[in-house]
């Protein structure tokens, strides 16, 4: 699969999730089998570019290419400027956010709210493509099936986006009205794929290797994008890739491997955020890793009272050491609910 000049290693992608897909998480998912990862959304407002949050989101140190950055906003000129700002800081692909359902975003008419105004959506797409063209940077688009059940216009927007020069479209199989409720439908993805020549990616409820296989087969999509199912299970990409290649399942990871991966994740996380913010923001990641594991809830409550990175890391090591005394490998996750809830990654780029 290609996005502009970039050939991806496979058809497995990490979804952009605000407050989740920071550089440490993206790098970990890439190590564990994802062929492509998109950054959490960066605001198009220039007055916020110098904030610590935006600076962290624009940090791609040591990240394998292609580096894809998602931008969010409502003004075509500002979105074009944001694209240029991120290209100057290493972005090799710019993704336009028309999929975020968060009220904080939609109340500003950004994210999936743009699907209510197709003329404005197209103006933004055209402005961003024009800004990126001199730098030979591809532009992609992520959106929902529509604003609501009676206004499912992903197909018309996708056609207009392709005509304007967008080089890949990702469709999350829910409307904005649904948020993350109910089941994702991929009939819209199939219709978009049938109408477009550029790559089309299916997103929404890709939780298991079987889900990935079935969605690819049903839609003809070029790739699948995994979001919440990777929270606390970044090795899901390795498992999906192996299943798609061989039809067989990998064994669940060893407890000692998960212990090592999580501690490495925490160290990278603290390095990016600093000790205090890093310790606080790491709690959600730790909670996802131990979700539904034996003693996980009790450990999470205990861990959330710790206020020091070293104590947090030591507690994680002790928990997995104790778990390793009970079992060699993690239990099969297919019977478990998704680790993340929508409220856990509905931050805005501000």
Is the pLDDT confidence value at 118 over 70?
yes
* pLDDT value for 214: 97
- Is 100 considered catalytic here? yes
pLDDT tens digits for range 220-229 = 999 999 999 9
Closest CA to 265 of 298, 234, 307: 234
Is the pLDDT confidence value at 106 over 60?
no
Could you tell me the two tokens for 114?
């743009």
Distance from C-alpha of 129 to C-alpha of 348, rounded to nearest angstrom: 24
Closest CA to 320 of 275, 265, 277: 265
- Cβ neighbours around 182 below 10 Å, total: 11
Domain boundaries, the chain: 2-251, 255-331
Q: What is the CATH number of domain 2-251?
A: 3.20.20.70
| Model confidence pTM above 0.85 | yes
pLDDT tens digits for range 144-165 = 988 666 677 899 999 999 999 9
Q: Calculate ∠ Cα 65-244-19, nearest 5°.
A: 45
Could you tell me the two tokens for 42?
């960066």
Distance from C-alpha of 2 to C-alpha of 10, rounded to nearest angstrom: 10
Closest CA to 167 of 156, 158, 175, 176: 158
Distance from C-alpha of 299 to C-alpha of 287, rounded to nearest angstrom: 9
User: 223 - beta bridge partners?
Assistant: 201
> What average pLDDT does the chain have?
89
Distance from C-alpha of 263 to C-alpha of 257, rounded to nearest angstrom: 10
More confident residue, 345 or 48: 48
Distance from C-alpha of 274 to C-alpha of 206, rounded to nearest angstrom: 33
Distance from C-alpha of 179 to C-alpha of 182, rounded to nearest angstrom: 9
pLDDT tens digits for range 275-327 = 999 999 999 999 999 998 999 999 999 999 999 999 999 999 999 999 999 99
Closest CA to 253 of 236, 271, 231: 236
Active-site residue, from 29, 100, 132, 309: 100
Percent of the chain residues topping a pLDDT of 70? 88
């Amino acid at each position: 699969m290609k996005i502009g000049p970039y050939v991806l290693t496979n058809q497995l992608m990490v979804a952009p999730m605000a407050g989740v897909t920071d550089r440490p998480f993206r790098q970990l998912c890439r190590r564990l089998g994802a062929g492509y990862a998109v950054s959490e959304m960066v605001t198009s407002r220039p007055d916020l570019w110098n904030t610590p949050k935006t600076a962290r989101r624009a940090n791609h140190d040591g990240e394998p290419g292609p580096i894809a950055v998602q931008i969010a906003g409502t003004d075509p000129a500002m979105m074009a400027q944001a694209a240029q700002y991120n290209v100057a800081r290493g972005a090799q692909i710019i993704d336009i956010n028309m999929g975020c359902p968060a009220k904080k975003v939609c109340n500003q008419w950004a994210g999936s709210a743009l699907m209510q105004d197709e003329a404005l959506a197209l103006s933004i797409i055209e402005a961003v493509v024009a800004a990126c063209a001199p730098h030979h940077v591809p532009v992609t688009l992520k959106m929902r099936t529509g604003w609501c059940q009676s206004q499912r216009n992903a197909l018309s927007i996708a056609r207009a986006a392709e005509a304007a020069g967008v080089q890949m479209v990702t469709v999350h199989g829910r409307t904005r009205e649904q948020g993350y409720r109910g089941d994702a439908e991929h009939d819209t993805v199939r219709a978009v794929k049938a109408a477009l020549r550029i790559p089309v990616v299916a997103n929404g409820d890709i939780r298991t290797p079987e889900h990935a296989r079935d969605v690819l087969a049903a839609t003809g999509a070029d790739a699948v994008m995994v979001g919440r199912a990777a929270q606390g299970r970044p090795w899901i990409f390795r498992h999906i890739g192996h299943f798609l290649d061989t039809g067989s399942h990998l064994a669940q990871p060893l407890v000692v491997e998960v212990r090592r991966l999580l501690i490495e994740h925490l160290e990278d996380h603290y390095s990016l955020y600093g000790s205090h913010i890093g310790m606080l923001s790491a709690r959600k990641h730790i909670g996802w890793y131990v979700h539904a594991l034996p003693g996980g809830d009790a450990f999470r409550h205990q861990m959330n009272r710790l206020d020091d990175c070293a104590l947090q890391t030591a507690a994680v090591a002790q928990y997995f050491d104790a778990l390793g005394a009970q079992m060699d490998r993690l239990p099969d996750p297919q019977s478990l609910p998704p680790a993340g809830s929508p409220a856990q990654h509905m931050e805005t780029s501000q």
